[in-house]
Structure 1
Amino acid sequence: MSHSIIKLSILFLGAVVLIFLNRMVNDAFAPLSIHLSVIGLLAIFPALYLPLGQGFLCVILIGLFWDTPLPYSALPFLLLDFTIIAFIKHRIRRQDYLQCSVIALIGNFFILLFLALFNSKSSFFHFNYWLRIFTDILLSEIMILICCYWFFNFQKTLLDTFVKNKEEEEFL
């Protein structure tokens, strides 16, 4: 099995773990009508550690897994986030988790804002709708700040454990 297929599988499975944890947190906050989303974290590692085609495939799989229980599709916005990160990845230091965290926060903010705009329909002009959306976005950003270092270290540890050829990874 090639290293890139192994990396694709590892990054997908790491994202699946994050999605399950996010769904468990959302189940706990359901009585408060709070919906948290960490979708901004899901496109960073495939964009930085995989070639463009395989990263695109990985993000499609992640997006399909993310969208399964939801009545809307975040996949186009996740792919847009992936594409932007992939085109600027030569300017991003992969080891600098603060820089990756800021990129995740910006991506998460815009993905959730675009989802709110496209799904608002008749609620577009209601203040309570936007108050809830921006509350969810703010709490989602705080959640990303709390879990991003864990997730980055988790993904990096999985890659270091299962990918044996580290020289190939440096030249990607």
Structure 2
Amino acid sequence: MKMNAINWPEGFVPGFTDNYCSNEVIIAGLTTADIWPLLNSPALWSSYYQNSANARFYDNKGPELEQGARFYFETFGFPVEAQVTEYVAPVAGEPARVSWHGWAGEPGSDDRLDVLHAWLIEDLPDNRVRILTQETQNGKPAVELAKAQPNPMINGHQDWLNGLIAAAQP
């Protein structure tokens, strides 16, 4: 069985960035339709993921993500400005996708962090769903995060996945 992959824009391809993390869960008894509404609404993130706070949209957008939407949230101690770079809502037989470019700090500063956080959710045979989240990062904070043990990005994103699944279960 072939599984789909994240679409990476130039400048954020894994292996050519300062940090990269990948987390994946495959679970029976849930579908993309169960997961998508919880991920697609940033205001809900803090209800199941303690590392997310104060989500809000700009330009009279929201409460759901959409292509090009600008939004803000706080995570890992960073105030993150973000813009959706890929948005593919669930359609039968195709994976749902959402990615955003997030940034913190002033361009060129030592505390500047640029990330691409991508999600792929796909229904699998036998009533299973696959949730893949990957992130690449550039900037001095990313270099430090890549060295940290245990890895705060891997652990934080696993908490996000676990919370997402728990919130989606009946």
TM-score category (smaller protein): 0.3 to 0.5
Q: What is the TM-score of this pair, normalised by structure 2?
A: 0.36
Task: Give the structure with higher Rg (CA).
Answer: 1
Q: What is the TM-score of this pair, normalised by structure 1?
A: 0.36
Greater strand fraction, Structure 1 or Structure 2: 2
